[in-house]
Structure 1
């Protein structure tokens, strides 16, 4: 099992390559097996960059047009143009942070570097709807975070500090913030909500001011223990709030974070002993079952208030968690590694899985933190799952590692996947029910690591990692080999799993244009929940609203854009008749042209859940008690309805 990463590395501020928080490496030799290459999953390309030192990638993300962004660290001089051109960057210290952008075809767009005299590391990356780039990580000394001609220095307090950096889509500097004390702080994981607020989690000791502006918002870690922090900044880098959890372990592994569209914050990390996970005035204590460590998964609302916390563990096992994500319905998935027997059900039920040595797992909880399912992938040797991503169709992708043999049940067939020599790369796809759809493995004679995986809006899969020596990156029968230049180099690869998700509209009937597929129509106004019985290629709406179709062809699936129906039996009143202002709002909205014939009003969140339903007595709708986020307000008048999207700040 991997454990005690961060604190043991306090003096150098880095994780070792084989224990990076988002580094998952699985190797596979049977490259012609159906389990490894589904017929309609196609290899597109692999690109690499590197140089005289060791390069390490930690995270990957895509934007709306399929551009690919990565972050990590590099040493010496490295060429970040994977094509025929040359774009060399030289590290200022022992290792520098890099941020790289390729287009959807793998062509070089830009690369930026940040560093000082010692070790600096980019840990995680996120992209907003406008293509702005957000990075968090760790730095030491004085670092200029403006990669252009300007200067924007941040100086770490004595040791390593955490940073949050924002660049625009061209790689130009927007802002950078840091948090630190006389000890080492790390920014490990980052995510955004629909309004562009920035959430970061990591570790800190002593007293740290998490307000990067002129204000002061100190959080205090007692004694010699590392605490977990969660920080929220707005899109301009201004402080919103910060919360912390104490820890009874002297050696704390890095936390990970995922944020849904409403700004609910899901965090996970290993812990030991008893911890109060309510950062407010209340108390919600969890006690680890294992003498070693359990993991927790917690949920805060967008204002940092406690919602729930769960712990996973067993007296006869130990477990680590390395990545977290969520789906459109607020279900949470995590991945990591475990040994022994672990009860993955945090409730009164039992969800035991047993590992022969060290296996990878995927766990799914619902929006209330209740157990849905858990799956393992493993064998007699070492396996881990260290990066997880959920696509728009609720498919789950994992990047990981293994050594020896991994056994997976794919389409009801027990499939053995055998490593070549050392630890190699694995990428897995599962459906929303935890069934394995495909697995792809890459390897060579050296250790090779799959670090990250993501999916674009068209269903294309992008994966990244680092490798050494000669590796064939084509998981099919062809050969597409790359060799590392110096020590370890970074690879980025693309697999296409595109499905035709275009639709046609005739009146109140929507039709999927794909043929020979399977279909499931969903209600976009209700968290993309499936509509019972609607599995034909066409759907006729009886109620006005937004609808989409999930199209599955072989091992590939994706969900269409939502289509608005305004001609069903219940008519939608023209939106110009009623307008709501101000929008965005901080407290109240006013209905223009308000009429007493408006019989009722619903307020819904982005999942379609009705938060309030009432009969209006005036033109004013009070939203002051709602947390910041995106809401929909429905106005009903007779047989008509109008729907309005409101942003609460």
Structure 2
């Protein structure tokens, strides 16, 4: 038999010949297989993650399930079926062929997307008509993989040989590898791995093996477990995995050897064993469960979450030895007693105990959960489970017993009838609060507690199945409704026990009904008590949405004055989405569009009807306006300007002045009236006017105070009039001064530039009597010319001496500049000056030094024409400088009428010449009171007059806002005069140019 609990707490179970059953705690549902054939057997049931079930078993003849029907191909075949959670068949697949097939094991891989099945075959066999295999000997063991839609993905002869291959119990480890345990005679080969081949050292005697296969069915390794007894009735019954290590239990006769770990018996009857292999198949430990005189068998083992093993089985011997712990049979008549033992993962026995009656007692299944253990089976007379005693009602009755982790029995129950009644399977439900047991009975009726079941066929030869559940109700679920809006108290909670019945309730807020209402946010717990005093607690958190708030997360103001292209977006947070919106202008989207300037409010509602309020102000640019600032410039000029100053509106701005200028500032304006039209970026316009007036003429009066002869205490004062105040001042004193009165003046001359607010300027000069800044402005071989600042004194006295000498000579002079004669050539001199005012002299100034020239350097030589003569002028140049003067003689070629010109330096320009005339010119030097000889003449010709006359006057290019370029034919005149006037005006502007 077998049983399994689904995710909803329903129990599914099967039994030989009886089909598939489902029990949901209320209804007992039978999904029949083939009726009337006791050899139809369900071997295993699995459940996937979505609540579907997979049933694996054997059948003879025909299997009918709803509209699905399959029939055997030879002897016994195997079926694999899938049901949904309601028991509706989804598909059924057949494994069979010419011989007989037996289902052994079924597992689901850890990914939950495929099934691995194992079994025996002894002929030609196919898997849903695919992947056929043929046995190599009498029996082979197969492996096959199906997806969850029933498609066979692969199959293989996992273990094959010349004789029998038996069993094939399987499990899947953490690496998704398949671990198989079984037996063979003669030899065993393993799929796609000749290195794993095994052979028996004992001809014709059954040997055991453990082997590992990958997810494709290819063998990884195999392990031989030697046995030398010829009974051939023993095997490895169960293989399980924990932490990628493998545990095997079963029974043997004779001697058993696992990699040198050996046990044996001499009775010729079976004993039990348990051993552990590591992940590579290496033996870790081997334990013997040994009787003294009869048959012992291990029926099942299971493991808990820490790797402890719980083993159950039967023994007929008088005594059973488990690592020195002796269990004694209740009878001496070869009747079986039941034993249960616990080993840790290292193979150390923790405890062992037996139960039995004077009759035959057997265990069939064992299960563990959270430190407790249940086992089921049958008994034939009064049996004691510690303090719990069960009586017998007929041939055999079924038992279900529970013990704790230390082997102390907590309860024992029976299913009793007059004939053979057997417990076949037991399982803890997932919550650990109760367990289920399943079995079958031949009795006409079966009593379990206060419940009586009647066999559907009263012939004492037909079995019915039973299912019983023990313990408390599973628990309590709480359904709740959360608070709709933050801060309210409208939550509810309803406690619902998993089974029907009479219950009382006690909530943490002292309420005593199944449903509590008007709850604020918080945690609420409830204790539910059944009529049988079982309790279960549950808690629920009543939540409330976060406070619903909203904010304006984006807005666009109106771009241009007077339009309606503004927008605003509200974003709510908290509450329960989705949200709806209502704006004060009746729009209902999160973003309100086409808004004019103004204030808007918006109410946001969440899915529970909670609301929040916010507002936004949409602005627009103010209406475009402008002022004009002006600069009236200077009196009589057209250098005035006007600047537009727009405000508000939307930039950028453009400008159109009444005089066609387009910049923000109109320039080169004369006095008059002007307007400007300003256009903003939205094409709005504004017109502003300005009158440019003529300021009065900027002028200034001056006054000064003479410095005393012995100090620098003179002053100069300027008093501006006219123009446009305020005024600024800049004196050329050292250092410069910027007030209306300059002070600290030593003498000489100074000047001040007055600038008004329109940058008009006037300069006034001051001359003081006291001489300062004596300087040499020219020298010859025998003269030196001096200049100084200052004028108007009674006289000025120059004192000379040769450098290094103290012999002085003086010159009384009256104006600057002044030339001293009769100096020696090529000589270093120094000179000082003093001011005489009415017979009082100032101190002599600091001396200036100079040197007269060498005689040869002053002579005029290499007279030559400089440039090209015009029709009325010609320029000549020469080498030599520093003489007192140079005399140029000019005459028309061939004429003896001469004109003389005095020059002081090269070059010199003759003007008022005749056009198209040949001239010749000579030069001589005047120095030291005498002239040198006249030089040889040079000749030149003036230009023809017709080429210099201006003709074809025209405008060149495009006039600017305040300028124009004129061109004409003709060149070479002294200058050309252009006259301008405004059209219709008699006011003239005359410009002279070349």
- Structure 1 match to 2:212: 232
Task: After TM superposition, give the deviation of residue 434 of structure 1 in Å.
Answer: 2.4
Tell me which residue corresponds to 2:257: 276
Look up the SS of the partner of 1:302 in the other structure. coil
Work out which of the residue numbers 319, 326, 330 in structure 2 matches 1:351: 326
Asked whether the equivalents of residues 229 and 255 of structure 2 are also in contact (C-alpha less than 8 Å), the reply is no
The answer to whether residue 402 in structure 2 is matched with residue 402 in structure 1 is: no
1:45 and 2:28 correspond: yes
The aligned residue for residue 300 of structure 1 is: 277
Q: Could you say if the C-alpha distance between residues 136 and 557 of structure 1 is closer, same or farther in structure 2, counting changes exceeding 3 Å?
A: farther
Change (3 A) 1:87 1:427: farther
Post-superposition CA distance 1:355-396 (Å, at most 9, x none): 4221222221111111112233321222222333334x2433
CA distance in structure 2 between the aligned counterparts of 1:164 and 1:486, rounded to whole angstroms: 39
Structure 2 Cα separation of the partners of residues 439 and 65 of structure 1: 35
Q: Does the 8 Å contact 2:82/2:91 carry over to 1?
A: yes
The SS at the match of 1:93 is coil
Q: 1:171 aligns with which of 150, 172, 175?
A: 150
Secondary structure of 1:246's counterpart equals: strand
Residue of structure 2 in register with 1:627 after alignment = none
Distance 1:378 1:93 in 2: 43
Which of 36, 41, 46 is residue 56 of structure 1 equivalent to? 41
**Matched residue of 1:255: which SS?**
strand
Partner of 2:451: 477
Aligned twin of 2:362: 384
Q: Does 1:181 align with 2:161?
A: yes
- C-alpha distance in structure 2 between counterparts of 1:384 and 1:69, whole Å: 29
Name the SS for the 2:97 alignment partner: coil
Higher relative contact order (CA 8 A, sep 6+): 1
Q: What's the CA shift string for 1:204-245, capped at 9, x where partnerless?
A: 0112111x1365520111212111111211223222211120
Which position in structure 2 is the counterpart of 1:74?
59
Deviation (angstroms), 1:182: 2.3
Maintained 8 Å contact 1:43/1:475? no
2:235 equivalent to 1:254:
yes
1:265 CA displacement: 0.8
Inter-CA distance 362–435: structure 2 relative to 1 (3 Å threshold): same
- Compute the displacement of 1:202 (Å): 1.1
Given that 2:422 and 2:440 are in contact with CA atoms closer than 8 Å, whether structure 1 keeps it comes out as yes
Distance 1:359 1:351, change over 3 A: same
Q: Is it true that 1:139 corresponds to 2:118 in the alignment?
A: no
- Indicate conservation of the 8 Å contact 1:344/1:371, yes or no: no
Q: What SS does the corresponding residue of 1:89 show, helix, strand or coil?
A: strand
Partner Cα separation in structure 1 for residue 205 and residue 465 of structure 2 = 36
Contact 2:444/2:454 (8 A) holds in 1: no
Q: CA deviation at 1:161?
A: 1.4
Inter-CA distance 126–493: structure 2 relative to 1 (3 Å threshold): farther
Deviations 1:86-120 (A, max 9, x none): 54332223322233444556554544332223432
The counterpart of 2:178, out of the listed 188, 198, 201, is 198
The Cα shift of 1:271 comes to: 2.1
Deviation larger for 240-249 or 189-198: 189-198
1-structure distance, mates of 2:194, 2:303: 33
Hey, what's the Cα distance between the residues in 1 that align with 2:437 and 2:68?
Answer: 22
**Normalising by structure 1, what TM-score?**
0.61
CA separation in 2, counterparts of 1:493 and 1:109? 25
1:403-450 per-residue CA deviation (whole Å, 9 max, x = no partner) reads 3444334xx4x32142444x4554444332323445555566665554
Tell me what 2:568 maps to. Answer: none
1:374 is matched with 352
- CA distance in structure 2 between the partners assigned to 1:501 and 1:290 by the alignment: 56
- Distance of 1:366 and 1:432 partners within structure 2: 12
Instruction: Find the counterpart in structure 1 of residue 614 from structure 2.
Output: none
Q: How much does 1:340 deviate?
A: 2.6
CA change 1:334–1:450 in 2 (3 A) is: same
Pair 1:42–1:502, CA change in 2 (3 A): closer
CA distance in 2 between counterparts of 1:557 and 1:140 reads: 55
Measured in 2, the distance between the counterparts of 1:486 and 1:419 equals: 15
Question: Aligned residue for 1:324?
Answer: 301
Q: 2:71 aligns with which of 90, 93, 111?
A: 90
- In the alignment, structure 1 segments of 5+ residues that lack a partner are 1-21, 25-40, 504-513, 517-552, 561-649
Instruction: Give secondary structure in 1 for the equivalent of 2:137.
Output: strand
**Cα distance in 2 between the residues matched to 1:60 and 1:443:** 27
Conserved in 2, the CA contact under 8 Å of 1:336 and 1:384? yes
Which TM-score applies when normalising by structure 2?
Answer: 0.41
Note the C-alpha offset of 1:465.
Answer: 5.6
Cα distance change, pair 253–89 in 1 and its aligned pair in 2 (3 A): same
Which residue of the partner structure matches residue 571 of structure 2?
none
Distance in 2, Cα, partners of 1:344 & 1:315: 8
Structure 2 counterpart of 1:266: 247
* Change beyond 3 A, Cα 1:240–1:375: same
Summarize deviations over 1:329-365 as a string: whole Å, max 9, x none. 111122221113334432xx43323242212222211
What is the deviation of 1:314? 3.3
**In structure 2, how many angstroms separate the alpha carbons of the residues matched to 1:226 and 1:372?**
32
User: What is the CA-CA distance between 1:51 and the residue it aligns to?
Assistant: 2.0
Corresponding residue of 1:418: 392
Secondary structure of the structure 1 residue equivalent to 2:325: coil
Residue 213 of structure 1 aligns to a residue whose secondary structure is coil
Q: Offset of 1:500 from its aligned partner?
A: 4.2
After superposition, the Cα gap between the structure-2 partners of 1:287 and 1:407, relative to the gap in structure 1 and judged at 3 Å, is same
Match of 2:406 in 1: 433
Q: Secondary structure at the match of 1:115?
A: strand
1:143 Cα offset (Å): 1.3
What is the DSSP-based 3-state SS (H/G/I as helix, E as strand, rest coil) of the residue aligned with 1:94? coil
CA distance in 1: counterparts of 2:82 and 2:450, whole angstroms: 27
Whether the aligned pair in 1 keeps the contact of 2:291 and 2:315 (CA below 8 Å) is: no
Q: Distance in 2 between matches of 1:557 and 1:345?
A: 40
- Shift in alpha-carbon separation, 1:235–1:126, aligned structure 2, 3 A: same
Measured on the aligned residues, the alpha-carbon RMSD in Å equals 4.1
C-alpha distance 416-451 of structure 1, shift in aligned 2 (>3 A): closer
| Segment of structure 1 superposing worse, 379-388 or 105-114 | 105-114
- Looking at CA atoms only, which structure, 1 or 2, has the larger radius of gyration? 2
Deviation of the 1:287 alpha carbon: 2.8
C-alpha contact (below 8 Å) 1:256/1:324 kept by paired residues: no
Residue range with higher mean Cα deviation, 96-105 or 302-311: 96-105
1:159/1:466 Cα in 2 relative to 1: closer, same or farther (>3 Å)? farther
From 198, 206, 209, the counterpart of 1:219: 198
Whole-angstrom distance in 1 between the partners of 2:424 and 2:218: 31
- 3-state SS of paired residue (2:306): coil
| Equivalent-residue separation in structure 2 for 1:99 and 1:492 (angstroms) | 24
Q: Where does structure 2 lack aligned partners over 5 or more consecutive residues?
A: 1-13, 17-23, 479-494, 498-529, 539-994
